[in-house]
């Protein structure tokens, strides 16, 4: 029984999962994130009334007297994130550039929060070291979500479905491997993995969905459902970002180039970050 994690499942993939469940091939455990976990709930005073925390007093003139100790000492985490992520992203950009690891950058809103993810790419295009990096801001810090070699070698590439909040990480030694992930607590959250492996001993093709054996029909159905439910994909190439539309032809997913987007250099990305 194939299982798909859906803690951060985007709306586009939810339709795909529902379709597979109807066929009896996939069971889905849906866990929605609890966005109220950090919310402050007023206490009950025992009389059915809610006690508000430290309400400002009235000075008798219709004006509220502000608590002198509530200035900077009570800056919320959300407010802190408004300025801290920018400084941290600038530090990452400068470190990557100074170390010769990346010289092209972009900001993309992949997950559902208000802070964009940071894309960093080296223009060298070498295949013997990682050239493409994706970072996210979480818990007052920056974490690396994924890195990969330059696109092209053994099918490797990183694609961003920005409107669907999904990152595709592709590449395999033999055959194809495509992993579709969301972002959960500063880490990649695998939602679906499709593998098509060439068995060199038997000359057979092995199909797998989330690590479990699948039939060719199940594999094909999964690919078709992905194409029908996902939007445009931005592929992180070495020299530019290439935006593709997807369709299914001749037994595989086809990527149709629509347009390209330029990266920003160091000075430009620092200005964009703010």
Tens digits of residue pLDDT in 180-234: 999 999 999 999 999 998 877 777 889 999 999 999 999 999 999 999 999 999 9
Separation of alpha carbons 188 and 118, rounded Å: 14
**pLDDT score of 55 more than 90:** no
Contact indicator for 272, 90 with CB cutoff of 8 Å = no
- The CA-CA-CA angle for residues 25, 232, 6, to 5°, reads 35
Single out the residue of 213, 226, 79, 75 nearest to residue 161, CA to CA: 226
Give the model confidence (pLDDT) of 76-135 as tens digits: 444 445 568 999 999 999 999 999 999 999 999 999 888 999 999 999 877 788 999 999
Percent of the chain clearing pLDDT 90 (strictly above): 55
Band (pLDDT 50/70/90 cuts) for residue 151 is: confident
Residues in contact with 263: Cβ distance below 8 Å, sequence separation at least 6, in sequence order: 104, 105, 106, 119, 121, 240, 241
* Angstrom distances, CA of residue 226 to CA of 179, 232, 250: 12, 12, 16
Average pLDDT over the chain, rounded to whole? Answer: 77
Please provide the distance, in angstroms rounded to a whole number, between the alpha carbons at the two ends of the chain.
48
Residues in contact with 97: Cβ distance below 8 Å, sequence separation at least 6, in sequence order: 103, 266
For residue 175, give the 3-state DSSP assignment.
coil
Band (pLDDT 50/70/90 cuts) for residue 13 is: low
Q: Residue written as tokens 């800056």?
A: 75
pLDDT for 23 equals 38
User: In the chain, where are the structural domains located?
Assistant: 2-32+74-273
pTM: 0.70
Least confident interval from 30-39, 143-152, 216-225: 30-39
pLDDT for 24 equals 36
Separation of alpha carbons 243 and 266, rounded Å: 22
Separation of alpha carbons 1 and 24, rounded Å: 9
Contact indicator for 129, 135 with CB cutoff of 8 Å = no
Percent of the chain clearing pLDDT 70 (strictly above): 69
């Amino acid at each position: 029984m194939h299982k798909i994690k859906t803690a951060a499942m985007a709306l586009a993939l939810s339709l795909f999962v529902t379709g597979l469940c109807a066929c009896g091939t996939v069971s889905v455990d849906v866990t929605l994130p609890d966005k109220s976990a950090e919310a402050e709930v007023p206490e009950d005073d025992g009389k059915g009334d809610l006690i508000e925390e430290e309400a400002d007093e009235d000075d008798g003139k219709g004006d509220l007297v502000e608590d002198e100790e509530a200035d900077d000492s009570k800056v919320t985490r959300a407010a802190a994130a408004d300025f801290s992520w920018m400084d941290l992203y600038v530090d990452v950009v400068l470190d990557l550039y100074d170390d010769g690891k990346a010289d092209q950058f972009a900001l993309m809103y992949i997950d559902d929060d208000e802070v964009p993810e940071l894309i960093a790419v080296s223009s060298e295009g070498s295949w013997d070291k990682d050239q493409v990096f994706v970072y996210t801001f979480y818990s007052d810090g920056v974490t690396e979500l994924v890195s990969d070699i330059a696109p092209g070698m053994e099918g490797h590439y990183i694609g961003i479905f920005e409107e669907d909040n999904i990152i595709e990480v592709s590449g395999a030694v033999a055959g194809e491997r495509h992993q579709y992930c969301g972002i959960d607590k500063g880490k990649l959250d695998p939602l679906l993995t499709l593998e098509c492996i060439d068995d060199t001993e038997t000359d057979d093709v092995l199909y797998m969905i989330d690590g479990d054996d699948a039939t060719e029909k199940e594999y094909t159905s999964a690919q078709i459902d992905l194409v029908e439910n996902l939007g445009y994909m931005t592929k992180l190439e070495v020299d530019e970002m290439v935006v593709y539309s997807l369709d299914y032809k001749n037994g595989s997913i086809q990527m149709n180039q629509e347009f390209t987007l330029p990266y920003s250099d160091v000075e430009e990305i620092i200005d964009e970050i703010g």
